[in-house]
A = this chain, B = another copy of it.
Amino acid sequence: MKMSTLPVRGTKDYLPKEVEVRDYLRTKIENTYKKFGFNKINTPAMEDIERLNKSDGGENLAMIFKLLKRGQKLDLSSPDLNENDLVDSGLRYDLTMPLSRYYANNRHLLPTPFKALQIDKVFRAERPQKGRLREFYQCDIDIIGDASINAEMELIAATTSALKAIGFSDFTVRIDERRILTDMILAAGFSQEDIASVCISFDKLDKIGLDGVKSELLEKEYAPATVEKFMQILSAADNDALATAEKYCSNPDVIANLQKVLAFSNSISEGNFTTVYDKSLVRGMGYYTGMVFEIVSPKFGSSIAGGGRYDGMIGKFVGESVPAVGFSIGFERISAIFMEENFVPPAKEKLVLAYEDTDNFADVVLKAKSLQAQDKIVIMLKRSKKFGKQLDMLIAEGAKLLINFADGSSKVLS
């Protein structure tokens, strides 16, 4: 019987060339982060289902892949079964929740502040569509235990350096502060309970424009006067964002720190990127408590990194408040850009060692090993009827030189 060979819906097989590009990017990014002293950690893909369900994942909670209980723990005979009876764990939907648990579990063994680096797979039951995968990699750095804005600044320095290391330039770092937007919302006359809902509408500014946001807020039946006042504040911010922020923000330190981080990011750019205060940067996750940032590349018309401060989350595990801030590079987006551009990563010299069936294969291997010791890739290939076709395929994969085992003669391939 012949079985279906397609990967599961929403997942994909990576061909060798794509793996090479992805590994190249991963290694470059990882090495840059390590030079800033970030510590690579590894957490399990599986997490306790209760922990996942109670985590700060927002809409991701509806996309958790859940794992069926096993053995006697799975009881299908009960009359009113619900999902919770059937599952005991699930696959992580991001790397932040596992990091919080990891830090709480191991903090006595970790330095303070703890600078974590994770590049690993996460799982989400997304509706499959172009560019949306159900298994994909995230690439996060986080600083845990530093309440000062040096944490934000170090993350910006490390992330912009990593992007530079893989060849990105002319990108823009956008920075905002949750508390400024919150204060503007309150200043307009919305109540504390309205903040989340107003943020959700405001987050669509890029897509639907200010008029669209206004319509949506009115549709949500907020008082027209309140909505109008909010629009006035935002219009004022359009003219002079920082002055407006200063006017409405209740905490002067928030503004001072924002200005410090903006100045910092400009100072370290070395002409490679620009930095702006972007009053309309909301960033979806409900857990952000302070500064939020995003990096956009106009050339590729998309966000390639994002993050922010989330001082509340780790405390849920530790039992006491622990400050934390994170920055995540969109690894899948960046890999897709490099694939679209037909990027070929630098590679070791690749050569083909051709031998006859009558040659002593041990001698062929010893010859190959001696060439490998010179840091070359050596593909041993037996001369047969298929030799020409096989060689063409290897040339397409970058083989540059053919060596005849028998007489040691060589020929440049092209």
For residue A104, which residues in chain B have a CB less than 8 angstroms away from its CB?
Answer: 5
Interface-forming stretch among A66-74, A231-239, A300-308? Answer: A66-74
| Interface presence of A341 (CB below 8 A) | no
Chain B residue nearest in CB terms to A64: B70
Closest CB of chain B to A239's CB: distance in Å? 28
User: Which residues of B lie under 8 Å from residue A379 when comparing CB positions?
Assistant: 36-37
Q: Any chain B CB within 8 A of the CB of A247?
A: no
Which candidate, A81-89, A200-208, A214-222, is the interface stretch facing chain B? A81-89
Given contacts A35-B348, A46-B11, A377-B37, contact A316 B20 (CB under 8 A): no
Contacting pair A393 B268 (CB below 8 A): no
B residues in contact with A19, CB < 8 Å:
39-42
A11: which of B44, B76, B377 is its contact (CB, 8 Å)? B44
Chain A residues packing against B (C-beta within 8 Å): 1-8, 11-16, 18-20, 22-23, 34-37, 39-48, 50-51, 54, 65-68, 70, 74, 76, 81-83, 86-87, 89, 91, 101-102, 104-106, 109-112, 121, 123, 125, 134-135, 148, 150, 153-154, 157, 161, 263-264, 267-268, 316-319, 348, 350, 360-363, 365-366, 368-369, 372, 375-380, 382, 386, 390, 393-394, 397
On whether the beta carbons of A5 and B268 are closer than 8 Å, the reply is: no
Pairwise interchain contact B393-A157, C-beta atoms closer than 8 A? no
* A15 lies within 8 A of B37 (CB): no
Task: Say whether A316 contacts B41, CB under 8 Å.
Answer: no
Indicate which residue in B18, B150, B317, B363 contacts A3 across the interface (CB closer than 8 Å): B317
Specify which of B4, B65, B368, B397 is in contact with A48 (CB 8 Å cutoff).
Answer: B4
- Chain B residues with CB under 8 Å of A268's CB are 362, 365-366, 369
* Chain B residue at minimal CB-CB distance from A23: B40
**A318 contact set on B, CB distance < 8 A:** 2
Contact check: which of B7, B106, B376 meets A105 at CB < 8 Å? B7
Closest residue of chain B to A266, judged by CB? B362
Whole-angstrom CA separation of A123 from B41 in the bound complex: 19
Identify 20 residue pairs between A and B in the complex whose beta-carbon atoms are under 8 Å apart, listed by A's number: A4-B48, A13-B43, A15-B110, A18-B42, A19-B39, A34-B348, A35-B375, A45-B121, A46-B135, A65-B70, A66-B67, A67-B68, A70-B125, A86-B86, A112-B386, A154-B380, A157-B365, A161-B369, A263-B362, A267-B366
A413 nearest CB across to chain B (Å): 14
In addition to A20-B40, A36-B379, 14 A-B residue pairs with Cβ atoms within 8 Å of each other are A2-B316, A5-B105, A7-B105, A16-B110, A18-B42, A35-B348, A37-B380, A45-B123, A46-B123, A112-B393, A153-B362, A157-B368, A268-B362, A268-B369
User: CA separation between A361 and B377, bound complex, in Å?
Assistant: 45
Chain B contacts for A35, CB-based, 8 A: 348, 372, 375-378
Question: A382: which of B41, B48, B105, B150 is its contact (CB, 8 Å)?
Answer: B150
Given A2-B317, A365-B154, A369-B157, CB of A83 within 8 Å of CB of B87: no
Residue from A3, A45, A76, A368 with most neighbouring chain B CB atoms (10 Å): A3
The chain B residue with its CB closest to the CB of A264 is B362
Least CB distance, A287 to chain B, in whole angstroms? 15
